[in-house]
Structures are given as C-alpha cells and as structure tokens.
C-alpha cells in the first residue's frame, strides 16, 4: 500500500481540565499541515457526546509523506504544548474500499 | 448542532471468520446510501494493521437526515446479512472544527 493514498484516523482524548489547550493546539496544526507536501485533507472534529474527544480524518498521497509529517516542526511543537494534557491517543492507518 | 453538517465515524470490527461477508455487506451500502437525501460523503476504509477493522467516514447535511438513513431498507438488510458476524461496533457523532 506504500504507493497508494493513505487514510489516517487519529483519535485524541484530552484530559478534561486541558481540553481547550489541546483544542487550540490541534487547530494550530491545520494550516501548516495542509501546506505540507502530500497532504490531501486534514479535517479536525470534536465529538458531540464527549467534548474531550477530537478526531483527525486525513488523507495523504503516500505513507512516506505522512511519515515526514510526523516529525514536522509543528508536530514537535504540538507535542511540547500538550505534554501531560492527553488522556488517550489512538491512530489507524487505512485505505479506502471502493 | 441539529441544523449543521453532521460527521459520523462508524468503526465496525468483523469476527475474523466473517470478515469477507461483512466487507461485502459494507461495500453494498455505499451506492444506496450515496443516493440518500442529505448524504454528502460515505467513505469506507479498511485498517492496515487489523484487516477485520472497517471504518465509515460520513458527512450528512443534518442529523435528522442521518437518522432517516439508520432505518433505510438497505441498512435493515445489512443488519440481517451480518447478524452474528460483528465483533464490535462504535459510533461517533461529531462536527468539524475549523
């Protein structure tokens, strides 16, 4: 699958006390990530039943370009900003079934 | 949020022995659901690390129209076809954060 579009679903649950910090930091990732090579879309969502739960739905031109994203300066900065603020994190690498 | 676009993320894990039955039934939902009023997109994915795991990423014009979808004939038929084939199911109602 390495040369195909990669769909990534990233579920981030903030600790309740740090929800707004996490939300702001996640929102701050959108513009620089959209400007990255290979990023097709990078859509952030918030859950209606658990306001601490955020989810990115992302499509990338290749897994290699998504791996570059994972070490981009804005990701490293996000990790510093949200240290100790995250309750749980889950990530799924997928492909579209048509 | 009822008059806004609703994002739905549905995670379906098939029992390993019934994976292909579930996959075929899920794929069969795409065309009739895309034809439903209010459906903006209805994208099915399969996980790279757990091939039993499927995920729909969906956007709907309103929650009311998505509720109609949940009782559509093709959904009822899907539920019959996959009875006893599903390991777990999780559903998230979300909105986009921009």
Q: Is residue B84 part of a domain?
A: yes
Q: Is residue A56 part of a domain?
A: yes
Q: Is residue A12 part of a domain?
A: yes
Q: Are A8 and A56 in contact (CB under 8 A)?
A: yes
For the whole model, what pTM was predicted?
A: 0.95
- A60 interaction partners in chain B (CB closer than 8 Å): none
For A59-96, letters b (16+ CB in 10 Å) and e give bbebbeebeebeeeebeeebeeebeebeeeeeebbbee
Beta-carbon contacts below 8 Å between A and B: 68
Instruction: Assess B4–A contact: CB distance below 8 Å, yes or no.
Output: no
ipTM for the predicted complex: 0.94
For B58-91, the pLDDT digits (tens) are 999 999 999 999 999 999 999 999 999 999 999 9
**Domain with A29 in it:** 6-94
pLDDT at A24: 98
Q: CB B1 to CB A53 under 8 A?
A: no
Q: Is residue A35 part of a domain?
A: yes
Q: CB A93 to CB B49 under 8 A?
A: yes
Q: Is residue A58 part of a domain?
A: yes
Who wins on pLDDT, A62 or A1? A62
Q: Is residue A1 part of a domain?
A: no
Q: What is the CATH number of the domain that holds A52?
A: 3.30.70.100
Number of domains composing chain A: 1
Q: Is residue B1 part of a domain?
A: no
Q: Is residue B50 part of a domain?
A: yes
């Amino acid at each position: 699958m390495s040369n195909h579009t990669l769909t990534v679903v990233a579920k981030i649950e903030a600790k309740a006390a740090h929800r707004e910090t996490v939300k702001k930091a996640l929102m701050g990732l959108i513009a620089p990530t959209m400007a990255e090579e290979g990023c097709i879309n990078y859509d952030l969502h918030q859950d209606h039943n658990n306001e601490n739960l955020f989810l990115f739905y992302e499509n990338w031109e290749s897994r290699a370009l998504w791996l570059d994203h994972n070490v981009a300066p804005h990701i490293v900065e996000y990790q510093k900003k949200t240290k100790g603020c995250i309750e749980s994190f889950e990530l799924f690498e997928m492909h579209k079934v048509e």
